Amino acid sequence: MRVITRQIEVEIPADSGMKDITSLIADLLQETGLEEGSVNVFVPGATGSISTVEYEPGLQEDVPDALERLAPEDIDYKHHQTWNDDNGRSHVRATIMGPGVVFPFVNGKLELGTWQNIIAINHDTCRRKRKVVVQFMGV
């Protein structure tokens, strides 16, 4: 079993903006030469997430809209009082979504569904350049 760790950086819009990183992960997998195993995709930071979605224009609006209903912008979060900032909703959304996902790969290819894309999400209140840690474990 080999473990290979890489990092990528992606710029992502604010307020649960998404960036499709599927091809970046697939390219890194090809570079490893690994045939079978899993890849852990993780975003460091308290206001970012990794998930999957059919990355199309409708869902690029629907997902942030759904998160707005779950953790709306216009309520008072205790976090704002603690740090005197405005991103309490960002932390709540990131907690709901989670910072990482593990994906299997077989024959050197990610095992994703037909319409399943790997996405990085920035829940913060400003555009951010996000580091994504990509760790392959396999043979």
pLDDT, position 79: 95
* CB-CB contact of 17 with 59 (8 Å): no
Dihedral sign (CA 95, 71, 48, 86) = negative
Other CB atoms within 10 A of residue 44 CB: 12
pLDDT, position 12: 98
Kind plus residue range of the DSSP H or E element containing 4: strand 2-12
pLDDT beneath 50: ranges in the chain: none
The reported pTM is 0.96
pLDDT, position 24: 98
Burial grade of 49 (CB within 10 A; 0-12, 13-18, 19 or more)? buried
- How high is the mean pLDDT of the chain? 97
Q: What are the boundaries of each domain within the chain?
A: 2-138
Rounded CA-CA distance 81/68 in Å is 20
- Per cent of the chain over pLDDT 90 is 99
pLDDT, position 4: 98
Q: What is the pLDDT of residues 2-16, one digit of tens each?
A: 999 999 999 999 999
- To the nearest 5 percent, what fractions of the chain are helix, strand and coil? 30, 40, 30
* Topology (CATH) of 2-138: Jelly Rolls (2.60.120)
* CB-CB contact of 112 with 22 (8 Å): yes
pLDDT, position 30: 98
* CB-CB contact of 47 with 90 (8 Å): yes
pLDDT, position 22: 98
